[in-house]
């Protein structure tokens, strides 16, 4: 009974605990404040009015196509006014912008616009429209649209000046004096008479540019001759200079045509691209002209490494100029350079990881050229390969080997290995060891040493203060004389000729003096057998038999002699005398042993 009561109490406790837990969770859920409902998302503007650039070019393109109802949507007007006079006002504004707007049209591509000094944050001033005594700013205003959010419109302050500007333009237009068919018909939004004038001004501007360059050529030639420059260098710049000058003159003439604003914007882009091309072309030629002059002066003074480094620098500068021109052209055409530069940065990082060895070779080439370890035409030894350096490029060094094969060594490897340059030697070492015969007497050795010193001293190609002729060592087979000197030449062929002459003269007086050079030979010594010494008796004989002076460590038998007779080798004079003595021996002497030295 007690246990049952205990279980019921425990169950009630558990139920109460669970009930309290669920109640607290429910209260907590009710106490949590609900998140505010998100604002309704706006739709993207189909007219692309979310940026100042989209508003301006959208209005010009709609008005140029004759769709003034769409062009009126870019104007800051009330709904009633837009419906009543929006199309007419858009047409007048297009005419005024084509004729009276001054400057380059470069609206911002950012939704918030570009901050301008003295202008409110929701305003953008693009330029000034001026004609006659009337002047107005082309201004944009950022307003809220219930359907599309924040959009940019042509400000109402600008629209109030449009009718007055339009009256001034209509009264002074040149088109009233031209044939109607040239004014009425248009091509790509521009009247035919402006197209004819634009094309006609191309040869006029080219002729004017050529005449201007001819006039400037006289002082330029005088300056070039005074500073030692050739006419060929001037002609290399004349082509891009003509393009640049002709383009600028054409732009000055076209400014008087009054082209429509949109076409004027496209024409300005084309002119800017032509100016960039011409300017970078001239810069390319001038830098090449300057660096080649520096390289020629360096080579003429013997600085081959500096000359090769200038060649490498010329390639790098040309690559930089080309990339700079490409980015400038992209910027003029309206591309977002921030994205392009970010892409270039990421691409450079990827290339840096993927082409580590190539970059290492590039910097290795710069270090090799900067240190002037070698030059083009030098004979060098790279590890175990020897050859003539033919070119030091950005990635590798090309070497022509002695086998006439072309060896390409990466510059990174060249910078990390030992390079031995034979062409940088001021003199070449002549070192040899002369082996005289063991029979040569001391007087003959002294005579040979004296004669060799005389031969070396009498040769003008040998450096006299480095001559060293000494008796080096005595061996079991020869008397060695060391000959060391330096030959005063850098050409190995000349050194080989001098070495040949010295060796022939040394051979000549050695033969004349009766001395011979040592050759591989074997000398045999004979002794009587130990029994013959005992017949003489005495302790002295025993001591002599056991003394080191009487032992012969090199011994051979008659059988060994018979084996040596079978070998097809040349016998020396001592061996001939030994064989003669062996042939005259008695049978009792056959028991004697031979000693081999």
Residue 535: the pLDDT is 47
Q: Which residues pair with 78 in a beta bridge?
A: none
Of 51 and 317, more confident: 51
d(CA 54, CA 109): 8
Please say whether the beta carbons of 478 and 437 come within 8 A. yes
pLDDT at 302: 63
Report, as an integer, the average pLDDT of 530-551: 45
Distance of CA 336 to the CA centre of its chain: 28
Q: Mind listing the pLDDT tens digit for each residue in 398-433? A: 999 989 999 998 888 888 888 888 888 889 999 999
HEC readout, 280-331 = HHHHHHHHHHHHHHHHHHHHHCCCHHHHHHHHHHHHHHHHHHHHHHHHHHHH
The answer to whether the beta carbons of residues 273 and 332 sit under 8 Å apart is: yes
CA distance 11 to 113: 71
In 10 A of CB 358, how many CB atoms? 15
Residue 179 pLDDT more than 60?
A: yes
Cross-strand partners of 143: 151
What is the residue-averaged pLDDT of the chain? 76
The DSSP-derived string for 143-178 is EEETTTEEEEEE-HHHHTTHHHHHHHHHHH-GGGGS
pLDDT at 200 over 50: yes
Query: 70 or 169, which is more confident?
Result: 70
Alpha-carbon span 399 to 409, nearest angstrom? 8
SS3 assignment, position 470: strand
Which stretches within 459-557 are classed as H helix? 492-512, 531-534, 539-546
Mean per-residue pLDDT, 76-87 = 89
- Mean pLDDT (whole number) for 176-199: 76
Mean pLDDT calculated for residue range 389-393 = 82
334 vs 447: CA distance, rounded Å: 94
Express each pLDDT in 42-79 by its tens digit: 678 889 999 999 999 999 999 888 899 999 999 999 88
Burial class (CB in 10 A: 0-12, 13-18, 19+), 205: buried
Is the entire prediction scored with pTM above 0.75? no
Of residues 401 and 596, the one with the higher pLDDT is: 401
At residue 273, does pLDDT exceed 50? Answer: yes
**Whether pLDDT at 263 is above 90:** no
- The confidence score (pLDDT) of residue 504 equals 92
User: CA 54 to CA 151: how far, in whole Å?
Assistant: 10
Q: What is the pLDDT of residue 597?
A: 37
Residue 93 near residue 55, CB atoms below 8 Å: no
The CATH classification number of 356-421 equals: 2.30.30.60
Q: Name which of 585, 596, 597, 590 is nearest 529 in CA terms.
A: 590
Torsion of the alpha carbons at 27, 28, 29 and 32, rounded to the nearest 10: 120
Place 574 in a pLDDT band, splitting at 50, 70 and 90: low
Residue 218, pLDDT score? 75
What sign for the dihedral angle of Cα 331, 337, 341, 343?
negative
- At residue 528, the pLDDT reads 58
Place of tokens 């007219």: 47
pLDDT (0 to 100) of residue 369: 66
Residues 6+ apart with CB under 8 A from 151: 45, 49, 50, 55, 142, 143, 144, 145
d(CA 263, CA 126): 17
Query: What tokens does 467 get?
Result: 């001559």
Residue 104: which pLDDT band, with cuts at 50, 70 and 90? low
Give the pLDDT mean for 126-152: 87
For the record, the structure tokens of 329 come out as 């052209």
Which CATH class, in words, describes the domain spanning 428-512?
alpha beta
Q: What is the tens place of the pLDDT at every residue in 501-528?
A: 999 998 888 888 878 888 766 666 666 5
Whether 31 shows a pLDDT value over 50: the answer reads: no
Highest mean predicted confidence (pLDDT) among 320-329, 333-342, 459-468: 459-468
Residue 499 has what pLDDT? 93
Residue 288: CA count within 13 A, CB half-sphere = 14
Top-confidence residue, 96 or 394: 96
Task: Round to whole Å and give the CA distance between 75 and 55.
Answer: 9
Instruction: Name, in order, each residue with C-beta under 8 angstroms of 188's C-beta and a sequence gap of 6 or more.
Output: 263
Q: What are residue 441's phi and psi, to 5 degrees?
A: -80, 170
In sequence order, the 6+-apart residues with CB closer than 8 A to the CB of 64 are 94, 189, 260, 262
Radius of gyration of the chain, Cα coordinates, nearest whole angstrom: 52
Least confident window among 72-81, 177-186, 193-202, 286-295: 177-186
More confident residue, 286 or 75: 75
The band of 552, judged by pLDDT with boundaries at 50, 70 and 90, is: very low
* Res. 230 pLDDT band, cuts 50 70 90: low
pLDDT at 103: 66
Report the alpha-carbon distance of residue 241 to residue 556 in Å, rounded: 98
Range in 38-47, 76-85, 473-482 the model is least confident about: 38-47
Q: Give the span between the Cα atoms of 459 and 537, in whole angstroms.
A: 66
* Percentage with pLDDT > 70 across the chain: 72
More confident residue, 522 or 184: 184
On the question of pLDDT at 586 being above 70, the answer is no
Return d(Cα 169, Cα 324) in angstroms, integer: 42
Cβ 526 vs Cβ 579: under 8 Å: no
356-421 and 428-512: identical CATH topology: no
Return d(Cα 249, Cα 452) in angstroms, integer.
Answer: 85
Do the Cβ atoms of 564 and 532 come closer than 8 Å? no
Strands 134-145 and 123-131, how do they pair?
Answer: antiparallel
Least confident of 38-42, 73-77, 105-109, 312-316: 38-42
The residue extents of the domains of the chain are 52-172, 356-421, 428-512, 524-596
pLDDT at 497: 93
pLDDT at 378 over 70: yes
Token pair belonging to 66: 């004759």
Q: What does DSSP assign to residue 385?
A: E
CB 86 within 8 A of CB 72: yes
d(CA 318, CA 287): 8
In 372-473, alpha helices (H):
411-416, 442-458
What is the reported pLDDT for 490? 87
Question: How far, CA to CA in Å, does 98 sit from each of 61, 72, 303, 324?
Answer: 12, 17, 62, 33
Handedness of CA 437, 439, 445, 451 (dihedral sign): negative
């Amino acid at each position: 009974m007690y246990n049952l009561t205990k279980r019921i109490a425990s169950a009630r406790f558990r139920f109460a605990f669970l009930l309290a837990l669920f109640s607290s969770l429910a209260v907590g859920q009710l106490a949590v404040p609900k998140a505010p409902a998100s604002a309704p998302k706006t739709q993207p503007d189909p007219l692309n009015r979310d940026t100042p650039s989209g508003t301006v070019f959208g209005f010009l393109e709609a008005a140029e196509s004759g769709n003034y109802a769409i062009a009126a949507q870019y104007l800051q007007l009330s709904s009633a006014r837009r419906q009543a006079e929006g199309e007419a006002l858009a047409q007048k504004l297009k005419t005024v912008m084509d004729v009276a707007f001054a400057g380059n049209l470069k609206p911002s591509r950012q939704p918030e616009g570009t901050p301008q000094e003295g202008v409110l944050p929701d305003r953008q001033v693009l330029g000034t429209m001026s004609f006659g005594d009337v002047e107005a700013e082309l201004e944009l205003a950022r307003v809220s649209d219930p359907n599309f959010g924040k959009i940019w419109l042509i400000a109402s302050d600008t629209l109030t000046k449009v009718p007055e500007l339009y009256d001034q333009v209509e009264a002074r237009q040149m088109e009233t004096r031209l044939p109607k068919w040239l004014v009425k018909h248009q091509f790509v939004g521009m009247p035919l008479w402006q197209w004819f004038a634009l094309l006609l001004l191309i040869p006029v501007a080219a002729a004017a540019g050529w005449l201007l360059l001819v006039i400037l050529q006289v002082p330029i030639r005088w300056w070039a001759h005074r500073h030692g420059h050739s006419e060929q260098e001037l002609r290399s710049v004349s082509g891009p200079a003509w393009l640049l000058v002709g383009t600028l003159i054409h732009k000055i003439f076209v400014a008087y045509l009054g082209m429509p604003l949109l076409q004027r914007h496209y024409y300005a882009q084309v002119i800017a691209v032509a100016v960039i091309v011409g300017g970078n072309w001239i810069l390319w030629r001038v830098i090449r002209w300057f660096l080649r002059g520096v390289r020629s002066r360096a080579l003429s003074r013997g600085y081959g490494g500096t000359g090769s480094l200038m060649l490498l620098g010329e390639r790098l500068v040309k690559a930089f100029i080309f990339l700079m021109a490409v980015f400038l052209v992209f910027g003029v055409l309206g591309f977002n350079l921030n994205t392009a530069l970010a892409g270039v940065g990421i691409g450079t990082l990827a290339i840096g990881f993927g082409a580590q060895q190539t970059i290492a070779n590039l910097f290795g080439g710069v270090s090799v050229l900067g240190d002037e370890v070698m030059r083009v035409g030098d004979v060098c030894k790279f590890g175990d390969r020897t050859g003539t350096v033919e070119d030091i490029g950005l990635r590798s060094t090309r070497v022509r080997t002695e086998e006439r094969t072309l060896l390409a060594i990466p510059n990174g490897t060249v910078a990390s290995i030992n390079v031995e340059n034979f062409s940088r030697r001021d003199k070449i070492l002549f070192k040899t060891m002369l082996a005289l015969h063991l029979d040569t007497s001391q007087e003959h050795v002294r005579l040979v040493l004296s004669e060799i010193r005389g031969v070396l001293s009498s040769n003008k190609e040998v450096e006299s203060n480095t001559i060293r002729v000494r008796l080096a060592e005595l061996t079991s087979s020869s008397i060695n004389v060391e000959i060391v000197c330096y030959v005063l030449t850098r050409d190995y062929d000349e050194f080989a000729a001098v070495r040949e002459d010295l060796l022939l003269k040394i051979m000549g007086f050695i033969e004349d003096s009766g001395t011979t050079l040592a050759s591989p030979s074997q000398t045999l010594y004979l002794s009587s057998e130990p029994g013959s010494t005992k017949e003489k008796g005495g302790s002295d004989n025993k001591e002599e038999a056991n003394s080191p002076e009487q032992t012969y460590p090199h011994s051979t038998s008659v059988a060994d002699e018979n084996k040596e007779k079978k070998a097809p080798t040349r016998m020396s004079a001592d061996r001939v005398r030994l064989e003669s003595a062996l042939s005259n021996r008695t049978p009792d002497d056959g028991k004697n042993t031979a000693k081999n030295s």
